Amino acid sequence: MDAVSVIRTKRDRGRLDDAQIDWVLAAYTRGEVADEQMSALAMAILLNGMDRAEIARWTAAMIASGERMDFSALPRPTADKHSTGGVGDKITLPLAPLVAACGAAVPQLSGRGLGHTGGTLDKLESIPGWRALLSNDEMLGVLRDAGAVICAAGDGLAPADKKLYALRDVTGTVESIPLIASSIMSKKIAEGTGSLVLDVKVGSGAFMKNLADARELASTMVGLGTDHGVRTVALLTDMSTPLGLTAGNALEVRESVEVLAGGGPSDVVELTLALAREMLDAAGLEHADPAKALADGSAMDVWRRMITAQGGDPDATLPTARETETVTAPASGVLTRLDAYAVGVAAWRLGAGRARKEDPVQAGAGVELHAKPGDTVTAGQPLLTLHTDTPEKFAYARQALEGAVDVAGEGTGFEPVPLILGRIG
């Protein structure tokens, strides 16, 4: 077996067999296949695709490159959730303790933000003392104590994916649906959860801009989960407008705590409950009532135990940015559009996100929303508040927001986009 023959097979629109897939991923992980060779193969996959059996074998080979976790000793069924990423998407924060409060164990391996999409770990690290890096034993201990854990994936989990993910980012091959699906699902399957709910975002602030591509990605991932014995379902959800009223790290933690306290923006509550019901159903706990667990404080109790178990102080004051600046409504009327991608880029430029994985983030930076599409606004009223420790970034953030807002005259028909656009599974 050699890398050139594998590349030629896919370059010429052929089908990779199991032996080719197993060999090339194992050899790449060992360093025997060069980055430039794997780059050529990734581009051939992007251009010519893979069938379901190829994607399943590719995923299996990435799982086999590392360890698999096992939660079978836990007294509860396990359920996990993965979002393909968006703007203001803080759903994991209230969702994990909510589902745990209803009887499931939630081993949530999360990531950091890159570009305009926020990262769950960055958000939680704005809580003083909170730790993202846990050993497998520590992770199991938090699960036993609190019922939920949110932490970083260890280096031993699908190391082939870790290498390939970094390569795709710099070779223009991120958009390949087979590579996206296998990247996400290899880590989730290796994680050892019994059931998985996928939140596949659609719209300007999402990776998938249109419903057809999102449906294809969701169907591919649901198929991969099913093929590997993990009960998997997917919701297609709107990301044309930011979720909730904040985009930024500490800002989103504060909003998540409001949801756990029984308040918070209606769209965040709606999606949190919808995903919780899917997770509980997939875990065989379909009779549990997540709305009750929000109302009676039991989800908040789990949140406090989970944060404390990972070294954080749930009562600590969250960081705030040193400087703020207001963006006002350009006209009076009905706000008909507030572009999620523009808000995400603005938050990133203010310091809430990073351009490279090594970059630091500001805990207090981000964008606060004072109106959402469908609201009536008056010219000159505050529409957004920009938060940062580095005020020289305000102008750069404002550039990102140019053309991001549409206001129509009173009486103009406004049709809101449903938050949940479809379900697969």
Local structure of residue 350 (DSSP, 8 states): I
> What is the chain's percent helix, strand, coil content, to nearest 5?
45, 15, 40
Query: Which of 83, 110, 176, 183 is the catalytic position?
Result: 183
Which of 10, 57, 81, 82 is catalytic? The answer is 82
Q: Are 58 and 51 in contact, with CB atoms under 8 Å apart?
A: no
Q: Catalytic annotation on 161?
A: yes
Chain position carrying tokens 């140019």: 402
Whether 168 is catalytic is yes
Does 187 participate in catalysis according to the annotation? Answer: yes
The two structure tokens encoding residue 41: 């193969």
Tally of CB atoms within 10 A around 47: 12
Distances (CA, A) of 104 to 76, 97, 230, 321: 6, 10, 15, 36
> Which member of 168, 305, 349, 387 is catalytic?
168
3-state SS assignment for residue 20? helix
Closest-CA residue to 113 (of 397, 364, 344):
344
Q: Tell which residue, 152, 178, 173, 220, has the closest CA to residue 61.
A: 178
Instruction: Please identify which of the residues 22, 122, 161, 238 carries the catalytic annotation.
Output: 161
Q: Pick the catalytic residue from 57, 187, 304, 349.
A: 187
Q: Helix H segments across 172-265?
A: 177-191, 211-227, 249-260
Read off the DSSP letter of residue 114: B
Count of Cβ atoms closer than 10 Å to residue 115 Cβ: 15
Instruction: Give dist(CA 206, CA 166) in Å, integer.
Output: 20
How many whole angstroms separate alpha carbon 162 and alpha carbon 397?
31
How far is the C-alpha of 234 from the C-alpha of 82, rounded, in Å? 9
Q: What residues are annotated to the active site?
A: 82, 161, 168, 183, 187
